[in-house]
Amino acid sequence: MQHRELGDSGIDVSEVGFGAWVIGTDWWGDRDESDALEMVEYALDAGINYFDTSDVYGHGRSEELLGEVLDERGDEMVVATKVGYDFYNNPQAGHGELPKEYDAEYLREAVEKSLDRLGTDHVEYLQLHNPDVAEMDTEVLELLDELREEDVADAIGVALGPSIGWLAEGDFAIEREFDGVQYVGNMLEQDVHRHFVETVEREGASTSLIPRVPHSSGLLNEQVTPETELEAGDHRGFRPDEWYDTGFEKVDTLRFLERDGERTMGQAAIQWLLSYDSVASVTPTFRSKADIDEWASAPETPALSDEERTKVEELYADDFGIDRFDGMEKEEYRTSVDGDDLRAAGILNAD
């Protein structure tokens, strides 16, 4: 496994990370906790050192489970967590978004509770979870500085979503050289990824990008096919049917990336993201040991050529040659600034 520096923090993270949203929750189907812990151990053995969790995943359960492994193998792990949602005072309604709380006092208490669950007094990477630009005010930024000065966190960043978008927030973090920006990005959903790549280049920033969902909810690793019936509770069910139907056709246009015996489509999806220098780590949704075997080894497969990367970008610009609505309105991209960020980036029309 190869590693890249997270921002200018001095922390080296594995090029493939482990998204711990799959442990402690049932958003990707039922999972036995002992199996989840075994997967974390297996990922460590495969060379993965970057583990990304949040206080809201399973209302703290993901952190607790990760803490069990951290207790034994902490010297092998770079742990990232997130705060910003107030699940302590609000019930979870299915997969709905909880209210956020960005009072600095609340955030400090939330960090302390996360550390307790992880069983540590320190976390390598602390992220604000889906903040609006207005919520990252002077008080919050001062708190982040204090937490680093107190050695509570080595690096700071933002994790954006759950809807794709929030360009203003990512730009804000990059312009202020946060160590990292996490977001949804893949070959079938390139807008946000390529915008942040351009922002990093324009600003000459040290900020690292950490794309998640590199397989676009199962299409690019072909775990979702026309015959697939998603389990009840599987988070991927939020995608409209049209999105999957057109997605199957888009995947076929990307077959040129496969190398028989050398690189699978799932590995190519990760290599496409790693072809951008500003990307530090890619966090797939591991559901099995077989996933870990395949995707943790992705960086060892042939890297994408400049021509291959350019062709992927050109296909996206032409909507992969498909003249049919995919069910995903760009007007639904998340924005906290009335769409000004999306219009400025050319994602939405100016009118």
CA distance 189 to 272: 12
Check: CB of residue 280 under 8 Å from CB of residue 6. yes
End-to-end, the C-alpha distance of the chain in Å comes to 47
User: Does the annotation count 183 as an active-site position?
Assistant: no
**37, 48, 61, 236, 285 from 33: Cα distances, Å:** 6, 20, 10, 21, 16
d(CA 174, CA 109): 26
Q: How far apart are CA 241 and CA 249, in angstroms?
A: 13
Take residue 249 and report the two structure tokens written for it. Answer: 């056709």
- Report whether 207 contacts 234 (CB < 8 A): no
Q: What type of residue sits at position 184?
A: V
CB 224 within 8 A of CB 218: yes
Residue with tokens 């939330």: 110
Angle between helix axes 138-149 and 104-118 (nearest 10 degrees) is 40
Which is nearest to 69 in space by CA: 14, 16, 118? 118
Separation between Cα atoms, residue 33 and residue 242, nearest integer Å: 34
Query: One of 57, 102, 125, 183 is an active-site residue; which one?
Result: 57
Residues in a beta bridge with 52: 19, 80
Number of neighbouring beta carbons within 10 Å of residue 10: 10
Q: Which residues are catalytic?
A: 57
